[in-house]
Amino acid sequence: MSQSSGIVYRPRRLRATPRMRRLVAEARLAAADLVLPLFVKEGIDEPVAITSMPGQLQHTEDSLRQAVEAAARAGVGGVMLFGIPAVRDAVGSQADAPDGILQRGIRIAREAVRTVEAETHRPGPVVMADTCLDEFTDHGHCGVLATSPDGEIVVDNDATLERYAAMAVAQARAGAEVISPSGMMDGQVAVIRDALDDAGFTDVSILAYSAKYASPFYGPFREAVDSELQGDRRTYQMDAANGREGLREADLDLAEGADMVMVKPAGSYLDVLRQVADRSDVPVAAYQVSGEYAMIEAAAANGWIDRKASILESVLGIKRAGADVILTYWAIEIAAWLWADVAAPAAKATEGNQEA
């Protein structure tokens, strides 16, 4: 085309080649950005496949160890542990039991990380624990139930905070490096921080699920944790219509001492994620939840989308929106892809040098 075309700016110049696109990329993924959620179940002898989340498992204690070691070798930044007890009750007693399944899982994960660190001489994943009662209660809610003055069964916010405090301390004693309150109870960060500090765990961090929305995208997760939930959690999880409320929740958690804040789910709330990232002075996480995982896997299995490209684009979009840390069930697989992108050209160049 001649110079008389009148085109002054040609942004396509910066898209012309893979080399150029790599050079000017505004957002980049790294394995260390990723956190792998893992489920450990009490009373099973073999891992159990989660049918609505192809490729994901309810782990035995042995297979949990193997999964954490695999994450460590892949360079993943963290693992988030969820426990599924054999016995549940109204107050989630097993949530803070010293030898409860989640505490056992935490100890196994820490040992697995130390083992791989000794072999590789590289930092392993940070061990994080979900700090919520829903997996441990026989009613499936995230807190202690009570009867309101109107005769309705409700989640008692303040009674639940006492349980969260005990659970957080039990997790810290087991070796959790990050406590992750996900129940959306008012004041949970402050209460947990005080409990950890009083117990001497001043170096244990809090990742607050700050803007956690009530969402149908949690559906497969219910299977993953054998949820007993009846009804919904809309009285404490956030309404999908509200963006400013998500910012207020994040601000409150920051004021209460959260070391990191989270938006969940990620894909439907990238606008909230961006705004939280713009105002936060601590790292911001986002959780690519089970339903987001299941949709891509299902579409890819039917040949409707390119699986790898869709996974990478979905996670890169979360990164671009402002997440410093991304919880995703594809963490190990993505890490392997990222490593292959670096290792393959390097290996080819080394072969060329040897031939020369």
User: Residue 257, SS3?
Assistant: coil
How many CA atoms does the CB half-sphere of 34 hold within 13 Å?
27
Has 41 been annotated as catalytic?
Answer: no
Has 319 been annotated as catalytic?
Answer: no
Burial of 219 (0-12, 13-18, 19+ CB in 10 A): middle
**The dihedral formed by the CA atoms of 280, 285, 291 and 293, expressed in degrees to the nearest 10:** 140
Q: Are the beta carbons of 218 and 268 closer than 8 angstroms?
A: no
Instruction: Please report which residue ranges of 39-100 form alpha helices under DSSP H.
Output: 61-74
Q: Are the beta carbons of 238 and 245 closer than 8 angstroms?
A: yes
Backbone Cα Rg of the chain: 22
Burial of 131 (0-12, 13-18, 19+ CB in 10 A): buried
Q: Which of 264, 308, 319, 348 is catalytic?
A: 264
What is the rounded distance in angstroms from the CA atom of residue 328 to the CA atom of residue 223? 17
What is the rounded distance in angstroms from the CA atom of residue 258 to the CA atom of residue 276? 13
Q: Which of 212, 308, 319, 348 is catalytic?
A: 212
The catalytic residues are 212, 264
